Structure 1
Amino acid sequence: MAENRGKPHAIMISVPYQGHINPFVNLALKIASKGFSITFVHFEFVHHRLSKAHHLHCNKTQVDIFSEARESGLDIRYTTISDGFPLEFDRDANYEEFWGRVLHEFPSRVDEFVRKTIKSDPYLLHFLVADTVFSWPATIAEKYNLVNVSLWTEPALVFTLAYHVDLLIENGHFPCKVNNIHEEVNYVPGVKSISTRDLTGMSVSFGSFVHTSRQVIEEIAYGLLLSEVHFIWVVREGILSSSDTKIMPDGYEDEVKDKGLIIPWSNQIRVLSNPAVGGFLTHNGWNSTIESLWCGVPMICYPFLFDQPTNRKLVVNDWKCGISLCDGTSVDRKEVAEKIKSFMSGAPSKRFRQEANKVKTILHHALEVDGSSEKNFNQFIKDLKDKIQSGTSN
């Protein structure tokens, strides 16, 4: 192992949801391309679900992606870690119990994993890359004198709101109010103004979210049918959820066979890149939002929880390249149909597409050789190497 002497080695651990996993995978590949060694650590149950999805739908898993990366010469290792629950435990239905253990018991598992990893190859210069949402990385990094890289996988606006959550609590704006009263929040440093309806939706349990989503899916489904547009609907049943319950209305696929294609998985970027796509009806997860903007596709927004309402605000209010699917708290198929018809009609469609293309241009320029993103990433790599070499943690 002496050949690894002095080589930086990242131990990467993400929150076990796709919206966090995707940025971690991309960062792993990017860091590896700079000559770093990577150990990508998946939750065991996520690996199991993704492997199952791969078997059913033949989509690539992280194992496939990293295998291809190794074949191209990148130094990436892949492994899993248990969260302490059996694989069959329903983490979605028992959301609070699951996260209670992740927050309080999982850190000791990470501690042991990091200890063994360092011991297995002491010649590497180990450092930690963990999700900002986790509370344990700084403690573990300090214990083993590791540099700690904290990766935030959501927009800066959401980070700012989370950072100043004490102000929101003080003013009675967090946890989010369950009624439909909208108030303007204009006291958060760095944020001009934001409505309470656009604040990160955290007082909602995942179990009730799943139940509610099944209630509204029928209205959205038949709203699409009434709108008479052609559509592709990707229904990821049982891929990152422990439930395999069929969520589409009975007989719906037969009703829309001349207008709609319902599939279990797709390469979202490839679909959005197709010039025939006129819009993207999305829950506004940050991955989907960025991918839609990257392809210049305007959005019809229907956020559920977490950062999604804030992401919707950015799309609709700030960048003006999308609309909200529903103005109220309920979903009605007739309203859905009218919104989609209006969105897809000539003048609005052209206007939204123009605004989406403005953002697309900014994103693409940022990733050019002399673009702001590439410059900042190269500076990050330089600073990271300096810190690792100096042996300074955090």
Structure 2
Amino acid sequence: MAMNHVVAVPHPGRGHINPMMNLCKQLVSKNDTILITFVVTEEWFGLIGSDPNKPDRIRFATIPNVIPSEMVRSKDLLGFMEAVATKMGAPFERLLDQLEPPSPSLIVTDTFLLWAFDAGNQRNIPVASFWPLSALAFSVFYHFDRFLENGHYPVNFQESSHERVNYIPGVNAMSLMDLPPPMMATKQEILKKTFKMFSWVPKVQYFLLHTTYELESQVIDALKRNLSKQIYPIGPAIPYFDLGDSSTTFASDEDVNYLRWLDFQPCGSVLYVSLGSFLPVSSAQMEEIAAGLCESGVRFLWVARGETERLSKVCGGKGLVARWCDQLRVLCHPSVGGFLSHCGWNSICEGVFAGLPFLTFPIAVDQFPNCKLIVEDWKIGLRVKEFMVENMAYLVTREKISGLVTRFMDLESNEVKEMRRRAKELQGICQYSTSKGGSSETNINSFIRDVILSNSH
């Protein structure tokens, strides 16, 4: 049987690697002739190379690390972006030329990786761009010059923080507070690289979106009109296909304990808290969140990475603080009734798939427009944190957090009942899209037929 060889290359960050891997798992599950080489840095291979749920027809290939360690990324975002842009391209090209047969018939690359487009074009290998964030975030970034032309960026929060603009195709009127934090604008190198990256998008033949058409139909339709290319909304690219797998192995007894703890909590009573795995939150803010959660009296499960011991002491007995969890499994647990989130796109997709409303606590970049999507467009959330400006970062106080958490988890409140009703509606849309005949399932089958299989002949 002739194999169709796809080379997948994600940006070296968890929020990019995870959805790319989930996309690849879907591709090989739907067609027996697809073989995928998944390219990661040596560091990331050490972190994910032993994935027990990886199909045999996805094989890893590695290139050298671009930075000394993962910890550098959050401390020097500009340096990390520069390293990815300048140090990964050459080893990727060498790897591409040395791959075992069959020859690659397609490259699926993260939209952020310009050098992968170059490598494919030079070798006459078709390239599909995979956008791992929301369609709304893409449209905001793609049309960012409009904010600059209208003098709306960087934002002057004293004068115009509540000003609304309505000139981004497919995007409902949005507050300037929902733009990526203005601290980005002081780093002109980042802006230049961003514009260069998006200047390549019209030249890409195939565009994959990590979203569900029905959840962002207005902005996707606008992108189809403006980009005039084959666009495939194939999301959510989350591991929903592993939910029924009881063979999942857990890292330690602690990992089993949080599921046991959830089993003994009343239905819909637990607030799940996670502020992501990459961008840091100040110790002072973490203290305020911990105190606010405790003062609210609400049950909570908080995944707090390296600060579990300190925060456990602050939080007392109402909640459980863990260093890690199987997030989608937790969100789908019947005891969980809400999600306090940093609004990273993967977390949003998992929360929507689980039918949950959100308390939004955006930290950086696309998380701010994502917050607008949750609160204003879908109406399934409340804002905890509204903006962040360089040199004006502010603490959300324990009093505000306590009051919002209490309000948000009040199951008798009509406001909360309505949010939960809408969240269940979106859950139905999202879950149907991935089932037989749903839009995402149809789109991924079309991508396999129209792109992967056709390019192999």
Taking the aligned partners of 2:25 and 2:309, their CA distance within structure 1 comes to 40
Taking the aligned partners of 2:280 and 2:442, their CA distance within structure 1 comes to 44
Taking the aligned partners of 1:81 and 1:40, their CA distance within structure 2 comes to 11
- Count of residue correspondences: 355
Q: 2:420 aligns with which of 353, 363, 377?
A: 353
CA contact (8 A) 2:375 2:383 kept: yes
Which runs of no fewer than 5 residues in structure 2 stay unpaired? 191-277, 388-393
Q: 1:98 aligns with which of 76, 80, 94?
A: 80
Q: 1:132 aligns with which of 111, 125, 130?
A: 111
TM-score by length of 2: 0.72
Matched, 1:309 2:368: yes
- 1:210–1:38 distance in 2 versus 1, CA, 3 Å: closer
The alpha-carbon deviation at position 86 of structure 1 amounts to 3.6
Matched, 1:108 2:90: yes
CA contact (8 A) 1:201 1:308 kept: no
Taking the aligned partners of 1:19 and 1:212, their CA distance within structure 2 comes to 17
Residue of structure 2 in register with 1:30 after alignment: 26
Residue 131 of structure 1 aligns to which amino acid in structure 2?
Answer: D
The alpha-carbon deviation at position 98 of structure 1 amounts to 2.4
Residue of structure 2 in register with 1:331 after alignment: 396
Residue of structure 1 in register with 2:242 after alignment: none
TM-score by length of 1: 0.83
- 1:282–1:256 distance in 2 versus 1, CA, 3 Å: same
Residue of structure 2 in register with 1:367 after alignment: 434
Question: For residues 41-72 of structure 1, what are the alpha-carbon distances to aligned partners after superposition, in whole Å with 9 as ceiling and x for unaligned?
Answer: 12222334x3xxxxxxxxxx4532455x22xx
Matched, 1:196 2:176: yes
Residue of structure 2 in register with 1:64 after alignment: 51
- 1:172–1:135 distance in 2 versus 1, CA, 3 Å: farther
Q: 1:344 aligns with which of 394, 405, 409?
A: 409
Taking the aligned partners of 1:369 and 1:295, their CA distance within structure 2 comes to 19
Q: What percentage of residue pairs aligned between the two structures are identical?
A: 34
The alpha-carbon deviation at position 89 of structure 1 amounts to 7.5
Matched, 1:7 2:72: no
CA contact (8 A) 1:66 1:78 kept: no
Which runs of no fewer than 5 residues in structure 1 stay unpaired? 51-60, 238-246
The two structures, once aligned, show a CA RMSD in angstroms of 2.4
Matched, 1:215 2:287: no
Question: For residues 313-360 of structure 1, what are the alpha-carbon distances to aligned partners after superposition, in whole Å with 9 as ceiling and x for unaligned?
Answer: 111111111111145753100010001111111213322110100100
Taking the aligned partners of 1:114 and 1:177, their CA distance within structure 2 comes to 46
Matched, 1:230 2:299: yes
CA contact (8 A) 1:217 1:248 kept: no
Describe the SS at the equivalent of 1:15.
coil
CA contact (8 A) 2:165 2:174 kept: yes
Question: For residues 125-154 of structure 1, what are the alpha-carbon distances to aligned partners after superposition, in whole Å with 9 as ceiling and x for unaligned?
Answer: 432111001122221111111110110011
Q: 1:148 aligns with which of 107, 110, 127?
A: 127
Q: 2:380 aligns with which of 307, 321, 332?
A: 321
Residue 348 of structure 2 aligns to which amino acid in structure 1?
Answer: T
- 1:353–1:211 distance in 2 versus 1, CA, 3 Å: closer
Residue of structure 2 in register with 1:384 after alignment: 451
Residue of structure 1 in register with 2:65 after alignment: 83
CA contact (8 A) 2:290 2:315 kept: no
Describe the SS at the equivalent of 2:108.
strand
The alpha-carbon deviation at position 212 of structure 1 amounts to 4.8
CA contact (8 A) 1:326 1:336 kept: no
